[in-house]
Amino acid sequence: MVLNDWGLAMSGQGESLGSASQPDCATLNMPSGEFISSGFPIISRTDFSDTTFLLEIHHPVMARAARPGQFVIVIAHEHGERIPLTLADFDRDRGTVTLVVQAVGKSTKEMQANLQAGGEVFGLVGPMGVPSNQGDVKKVICVGGGLGVAPIFPQARAFKEAGAYVIGIVGFRNIDLIFWEDKFRAVCDELIICTDDGSAGIKGLVTLGIEQAARDHSDIDELVAIGPPIMMRACAETTRPLGIKTTVSLNPIMVDGTGMCGGCRVKIGDRIKFACVDGPDFDGHEVDFDDLMNRLRRYKAEEKVAQETWDKNCRQLQLDPEPAPDTPPESGPTS
Partner 1 sequence: MARKTIRNIPQQRAVMPVQPPDIRAHNFEEVALGFDQDAAILESERCLVCPKPACVDACPVKIDIPGFITSILSHNYREAYDIMTDATLLPAVCGRVCPQEDQCEGVCPVGVKFEPVAIGRLERWLGDRAISENWHTDSYIGSGPFKIGIVGSGPAGMACAADLAKAGCDVTVFEALHEPGGVLRYGIPEFRLPNEVVDAEIGNLAKLGIKIICNTLVGRLFTIEQMIEEMGFHAVFIGSGAGTPKFMDIPGENLNGVLSANELLTRCNLMHAGQFPDYDTPLQIGRRVAVIGSGNTAMDAMRVALRLGAKEVHCIYRRTDAECPARLEELHHAQEEGVDFHWLSAPVEILGNDDSRVRALRCIRMELGEPDSSGRRRPIPVPDSEFEFQADTVVYAIGTSPNPILGQTSGLKLDARGYIETDDDLATSLAGVYAGGDIVTGAATVILAMGAGRKAAQSIRDYLAIRDTNSVYSAAQEGLEGTVFGIDQAERNFSPVRLH
306-325 binders of partner 1 (CB under 8 A)? 306, 309-310
243-272 binders of ligand FES (CB under 6 A)? 254-257, 259-264
Give 3 or 260: the residue with its C-beta nearer to ligand FES: 260
Give 184 or 274: the residue with its C-beta nearer to ligand FES: 274
3 state SS of 63: helix
C-alpha span between 220 and 191 (Å, rounded): 15
DSSP assignment of 78-96, as one string?
Answer: TT---EEEE--EEETTTTE
Which position among 202, 208, 277, 324 is part of the footprint of partner 1 (CB under 8 A)? 277
With a CB cutoff of 8 Å and minimum separation 6, the contacts of 73 are: 82, 83, 84, 85, 123, 124, 125, 126, 128, 254, 256, 257
Q: Which of 146, 151, 297, 166 is nearest to 220 (CA)?
A: 166
Which position among 117, 258, 269, 319 is part of the footprint of partner 1 (CB under 8 A)? 258
Contacted by 107, from partner 1, ligand FES, none: CB < 5 to 8 Å by type: partner 1
How many other β-carbons are positioned within 10 Å of the β-carbon of residue 69?
A: 26
How many other β-carbons are positioned within 10 Å of the β-carbon of residue 17?
A: 13
How many other β-carbons are positioned within 10 Å of the β-carbon of residue 78?
A: 11
Give 89 or 303: the residue with its C-beta nearer to ligand FES: 303
Q: How many helices (H) and strands (E) does the chain have?
A: 10, 17
Which position among 113, 175, 301, 319 is part of the footprint of partner 1 (CB under 8 A)? 301
Binding mask 125-144 for partner 1 (x = CB under 8 A): xxxxxx--------------
Which position among 173, 183, 265, 315 is part of the footprint of partner 1 (CB under 8 A)? 265
Contacted by 207, from ligand FES, partner 1, none: CB < 5 to 8 Å by type: none
C-alpha span between 93 and 46 (Å, rounded): 20
The DSSP 8-state label assigned to residue 333 in this structure reads -
Residue count, binding to partner 1 (CB under 8 A): 71
Contacted by 254, from ligand FES, partner 1, none: CB < 5 to 8 Å by type: ligand FES
Q: Which of 333, 249, 255, 262 is nearest to 289 (CA)?
A: 249
C-alpha span between 277 and 260 (Å, rounded): 9
Q: Which of 89, 128, 83, 87 is nearest to 109 (CA)?
A: 83
- Yes or no: say if 229 and 296 are a contact pair by the CB < 8 Å rule: yes
Q: Which helix (H) or strand (E) holds 323?
A: none
42-81 binders of partner 1 (CB under 8 A)? 61-62, 65, 70, 75, 79-81
Position 243 contacts partner 1 (CB under 8 A) = no
Residue count, binding to ligand FES (CB under 6 A): 12
Which position among 276, 287, 296, 314 is part of the footprint of ligand FES (CB under 6 A)? 276
Give 107 or 238: the residue with its C-beta nearer to partner 1: 107
- Rounded least distance, CB 257 to ligand FES, Å: 5
90-119 binders of partner 1 (CB under 8 A)? 106-107
Contacted by 211, from ligand FES, partner 1, none: CB < 5 to 8 Å by type: none
Contacted by 125, from ligand FES, partner 1, none: CB < 5 to 8 Å by type: partner 1
- Name the site residues for ligand FES (rule: CB under 6 A): 254-257, 259-264, 274, 276
